[in-house]
């Protein structure tokens, strides 16, 4: 399912980046499909820009998922015609008559922390389990999620593949100086948080950390950028109770150029998640030469390696102390910037596309053999 609709967060970035690399490589022929009430309007712009034809079912996704959780009808070929492989890029892979199947699982929050999930997301584990029983291969972005899938879904290890996401890393010529242009868009130095405002991102803990940090760094702002989510009320309550509400700036969802500029101007990126299957924002920050303070949640340590300061999830005092170190210690800051750029450069969409093409071939051959 093409996750191109609406405001793109991590899943949308993965789908767009992978599709772009697959199109550029010309080794596979892509045909997009979308199941949603407004599928044609929602997917048209991005898919069109990539030159990918899209077949649409104007059917509510929740209804389609409910049917596919119980039955192997309708098969995807009713919509697409004959295909070799169908890749469900957002937890749900439709049944097929003859095609191999691959389903991408980003994390298992719905199993580990169902209270942190919106109701619609809680049905994903059931759909993944049914797909696995039906012979689908599982694609994950990290070894952490691979282990979660083996433990909690019961998949065969031979049918679970780790293919990390890629990253469009700026060239050295495009890298900004410490006085990056994005910094000039705000009058005060600022810390940045990127992502949808949802409970899993634990922004209330970051607000507490910022209030603690403000005792010694009173000139800072905290900028929170990303689409609204169902964690908005808790975030607002934390801001109102913080004592520093006037220096917490909520800017909402940003277009790519605005987002990049804001990122390049930050003193540091703060990533306070309680559970992650990958983590795009830390990689994006490292590619931009911005040091990262993150929690050691889920796959985050695997993704960032030695290129970030890590603290325990939910510990606002440790988060505040780590942010202070990154701001005040020039040697630490320089090391994180250098290591971050090196780390980010190891994630490429070309490599991701090559690995996915290999997986598609395995899935297609496996189906033909059955």
Do 212 and 75 lie in one domain? The reply is no
Residue 41 host element (H or E): helix 39-50
Do 296 and 353 lie in one domain? The reply is no
CA angle 130, 133, 138 (to 5 degrees): 85
Bridge partner residues of 293 (DSSP)? 270, 309
281 contact partners, CB below 8 Å, separation of at least 6: 194, 195, 269, 271
With tokens 């390696």, the residue in question is 305
Do 191 and 329 lie in one domain? The reply is yes
CA torsion angle 194 196 199 203 (round to 10): 30
DSSP-derived secondary structure letter, 87: E
4 domain residue, yes or no: no
Position 183 scores a pLDDT of: 41
Query: Residue 362: which CATH number?
Result: 3.40.50.2000
Do 93 and 161 lie in one domain? The reply is yes
Report how far apart, in Å, the C-alpha atoms of 119 and of each of 104, 115, 116 are.
20, 9, 9
Do 192 and 331 lie in one domain? The reply is yes
Separation between Cα atoms, residue 250 and residue 266, nearest integer Å: 14
Do 353 and 340 lie in one domain? The reply is no
Chunk the chain into consecutive blocks of 10 residues (it has 370) and report each block's average pLDDT, rounded to whole numbers: 53 90 93 78 61 85 88 92 95 95 97 90 94 97 98 97 86 42 63 95 98 96 94 96 97 89 97 96 97 98 98 98 98 98 97 97 94
85 domain residue, yes or no: yes
Q: Quick count: other Cβ atoms within 10 Å of Cβ 152?
A: 15
Instruction: Quick: pLDDT tens for 17-35.
Output: 999 999 999 899 999 888 8
What tokens does 89 get? 């890029």
Position 277 scores a pLDDT of: 97
Do 187 and 124 lie in one domain? The reply is no
8 A C-beta contact, residue 314 and residue 205: yes
Separation between Cα atoms, residue 273 and residue 279, nearest integer Å: 9
Do 358 and 286 lie in one domain? The reply is no
Domain count, the chain: 2
Separation between Cα atoms, residue 215 and residue 87, nearest integer Å: 50
Position 200 scores a pLDDT of: 94
Do 220 and 322 lie in one domain? The reply is yes
Mean predicted lDDT score pLDDT of the chain: 90
Position 169 scores a pLDDT of: 58
Q: How do strand 137-140 and strand 100-105 relate by DSSP bridges?
A: parallel
Instruction: Quick: pLDDT tens for 129-161.
Output: 999 999 999 999 999 999 999 999 999 999 999
Position 8 scores a pLDDT of: 58
DSSP-derived secondary structure letter, 21: H
8 contact partners, CB below 8 Å, separation of at least 6: 16
Q: How do strand 268-271 and strand 190-194 relate by DSSP bridges?
A: parallel
Position 177 scores a pLDDT of: 38
Position 35 scores a pLDDT of: 83
73 domain residue, yes or no: yes
Position 168 scores a pLDDT of: 78
With tokens 């689908």, the residue in question is 136
2 domain residue, yes or no: no
Position 172 scores a pLDDT of: 47
Separation between Cα atoms, residue 143 and residue 339, nearest integer Å: 21
DSSP-derived secondary structure letter, 157: G
Do 319 and 225 lie in one domain? The reply is yes
Do 115 and 244 lie in one domain? The reply is no
14 domain residue, yes or no: yes
What's this model's pTM, rounded to 2 decimal places? 0.91
Determine if residue 49 is left, alpha or beta; phi over 0 gives left, psi from -120 to 50 gives alpha, anything else beta.
alpha
Position 2 scores a pLDDT of: 47
308 domain residue, yes or no: yes
Do 37 and 159 lie in one domain? The reply is yes
Measured on CA atoms in the order 294, 299, 301, 302, is the torsion positive or negative? negative
97 domain residue, yes or no: yes
191 domain residue, yes or no: yes
CB-based burial, 237-252: b 16+ in 10 Å, e otherwise: ebbeebebeebbebee
8 A C-beta contact, residue 220 and residue 33: no
Position 170 scores a pLDDT of: 54
Position 181 scores a pLDDT of: 38
Put the strands of the sheet holding 160-162 in their side by side order. Answer: 85-88, 100-105, 137-140, 160-162
End-to-end Cα distance, the chain = 24
Range of the domain at 97: 10-166+348-369
Position 47 scores a pLDDT of: 63
8 A C-beta contact, residue 41 and residue 80: no
Position 34 scores a pLDDT of: 84
């Amino acid at each position: 399912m093409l996750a191109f609709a609406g405001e793109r967060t991590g899943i949308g970035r993965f789908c767009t980046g992978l599709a772009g690399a697959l199109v550029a490589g010309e080794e596979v022929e892509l045909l997009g499909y979308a199941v949603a009430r407004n599928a044609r309007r929602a997917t048209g712009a991005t898919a069109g820009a990539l030159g990918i034809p899209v077949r649409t079912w104007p059917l509510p996704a929740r209804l389609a998922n409910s049917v596919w959780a119980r039955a192997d009808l309708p098969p995807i070929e009713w919509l697409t015609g004959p295909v070799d492989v169908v890749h469900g890029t957002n937890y749900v892979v439709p049944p097929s008559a003859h095609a191999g199947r691959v389903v991408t699982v980003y994390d298992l929050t719905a199993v580990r922390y169902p209270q942190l999930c919106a109701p619609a997301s809680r049905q994903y584990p059931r759909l993944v389990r049914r797909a696995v029983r039906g012979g689908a291969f599982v694609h994950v972005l990290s070894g952490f999620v691979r282990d979660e899938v083996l433990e909690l879904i019961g998949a065969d290890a031979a049918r679970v593949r780790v293919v990390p996401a890629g990253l469009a890393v700026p060239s050295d010529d495009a890298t900004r100086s410490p006085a990056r242009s994005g910094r000039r868009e705000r009058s005060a130095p600022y810390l940045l948080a990127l992502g949808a405002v949802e409970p899993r991102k634990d922004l209330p803990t970051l607000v507490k950390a910022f209030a603690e940090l403000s005792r010694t760094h009173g000139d800072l702002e905290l900028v929170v950028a990303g689409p609204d989510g169902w964690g908005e009320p808790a975030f607002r309550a934390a801001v109102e109770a913080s004592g520093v509400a006037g220096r917490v700036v909520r800017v909402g969802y940003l277009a790519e150029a605005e987002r990049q500029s804001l990122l390049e101007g930050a003193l540091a990126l703060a990533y306070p998640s309680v559970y992650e299957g990958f983590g795009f924002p830390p990689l994006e920050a490292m590619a931009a030469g911005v040091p990262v303070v993150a929690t050691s949640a889920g796959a985050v340590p695997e993704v960032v390696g030695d290129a970030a300061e890590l603290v325990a999830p939910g510990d606002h005092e440790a988060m505040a102390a780590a942010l202070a170190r990154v701001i005040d210690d020039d040697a630490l800051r320089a090391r994180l910037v250098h290591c971050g750029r090196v780390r980010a450069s190891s994630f490429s969409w070309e490599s991701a596309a090559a690995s996915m093409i290999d997986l598609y071939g395995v899935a297609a051959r496996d189906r033909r053999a059955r």
